[in-house]
Amino acid sequence: MESKLSKLPVKCPSCQSGLSVQSLACQACDTVVNGRYDLPVLLMLEKEELEFVLRFVLNSGSLKEMSAEMGLSYPTIRNYLDDIITKLNTLENHES
Amino acid sequence: MKAEEKRKSLAGWLFNPFLFWGGEKLLLAGLLAMLLHIPMAMVFNIRFGGALDMHVGPQAPALPVILTDILIAWAIMFMVLYAAIRLFGKTARLIDIAGAVGVARIPLLLTSIPAYFTAPEIEAPEEVLALQGSELGWLIAGALLTLPFFIWFIVLLFNTYKVNSNLTGWKLGVGFVGALILAEIASLMLNSYFTGLMS
């Protein structure tokens, strides 16, 4: 799958703990907002997994269409989706 | 993704084409593979009596026997694999499993050729024990030639189960081995029943 998204760092390179957003900057006027914002669970997925979710939404959730588009079998596509669901559930449970 | 990389490799096509091949196309390929069993059985005197079996006989089996054999071998295997997926609460499409089981039998089909040319001329299985010299040598050569094809057949069946179930760990192993044993026993029993009716 050709990647369109760059990888957002979600783990601390030093201690491997989860990262959070501390500041947001306006590209137009350089205003900086500081605070502590948790990353959405979806953004904690790997780059390829996020690409898959994006394709899934763009294909209106049709695994059959995704299968044809990606040149992979229906069970393979369904397995990818199942694995992402399992990962999202784990991340959500870890968050709460 | 791993599946996309395997699509480009020969090993991927030989050992796990089910990652990228499914649905109606795979079912059609599986049906064609099953139909190929008929000429192979007739030309090489083979009985495919059982979900995992291939036996060389002194003459070709009758057409109704061949048809019964291959129908039982195919249907029992894909239904048992499907049941072994549902047993663990997973969902799967019967069309993918049915097609994959048909395609997985291609290596078993290929074993017919070395088996035919190396099989000793014996009437009863126990006569194998009395084989000597070149006949015994040919028998061993035949076994060594057919073994890789049989392993290939089992690998394809395993990947059918793995891709369609998305199971891992002990569930994958136990589910697959249990399904093979059950399919073999059920197919042999059905074969015995229908062969009895036909004789």
Using CA atoms, how far apart are residues B65 and B73, in angstroms rounded to an integer? 12
Interface membership of A80 toward B (CB under 8 Å): yes
Name the residue facing B20 among A48, A71, A83 (closest C-beta).
A71
pLDDT at A43: 87
pTM: 0.86
Question: How do residues A39-90 score in pLDDT, each as one tens digit?
Answer: 888 988 888 999 999 999 999 999 999 999 999 999 999 999 999 999 999 9
Q: Specify burial of residue B60 (Cβ count, 10 A radius: 0-12, 13-18, 19+).
A: middle
Interface membership of B3 toward A (CB under 8 Å): yes
- Who has greater pLDDT, A13 or B125? A13
Residues 6+ apart with CB under 8 A from A18: A10, A11, A12, A39, A44
Cβ–Cβ pairs < 8 A, chains A and B = 49
- Who has greater pLDDT, A15 or A94? A15
Assigned CATH class of A40-95: mainly alpha
Chain A environment of B21 (Cβ under 8 Å): 73
Q: Is A68 helix (H, G, I), strand (E, B) or coil?
A: helix
pLDDT at B67: 96
Tell me the residue type at B18. Answer: F
Tell me the residue type at A53. Answer: V
Interface membership of B69 toward A (CB under 8 Å): no
pLDDT at A17: 86
Using CA atoms, how far apart are residues B90 and B19, in angstroms rounded to an integer? 17
Question: How do residues B150-166 score in pLDDT, each as one tens digit?
Answer: 999 999 999 999 999 99
pLDDT at B1: 58
Structure tokens at B90: 């997973």
- Who has greater pLDDT, B135 or B144? B144
Asked if pLDDT for residue A5 goes beyond 60, the answer is: no
Per-residue pLDDT band for B7 (boundaries 50, 70, 90) equals confident
Q: Where are the beta strands (DSSP E) in B26-127?
A: 46-47, 55-56
Question: How do residues A7-20 score in pLDDT, each as one tens digit?
Answer: 778 888 899 888 88
Chain A environment of B1 (Cβ under 8 Å): 1, 48, 72, 80
Question: How do residues B87-114 score in pLDDT, each as one tens digit?
Answer: 999 999 999 999 999 999 999 999 999 9
pLDDT at A6: 62
pLDDT at B42: 96
Domain locations in chain A as residue ranges:
40-95
Question: How do residues B45-81 score in pLDDT, each as one tens digit?
Answer: 999 999 999 998 888 999 999 999 999 999 999 999 9
Asked if pLDDT for residue A1 goes beyond 60, the answer is: no
**Phi, psi at A32, each rounded to 5°:** -115, 130
Longest dimension (CA), chain A: 49
Q: Which of A49-58, B62-71, B125-134, B186-195 has the lowest mean pLDDT?
A: B125-134
Where would I find the H helices in chain A?
47-58, 63-70, 74-95
pLDDT at A8: 77
Question: How do residues B115-124 score in pLDDT, each as one tens digit?
Answer: 999 887 776 6
Using CA atoms, how far apart are residues A52 and B149, in angstroms rounded to an integer? 36
Chain B environment of A67 (Cβ under 8 Å): 22-23
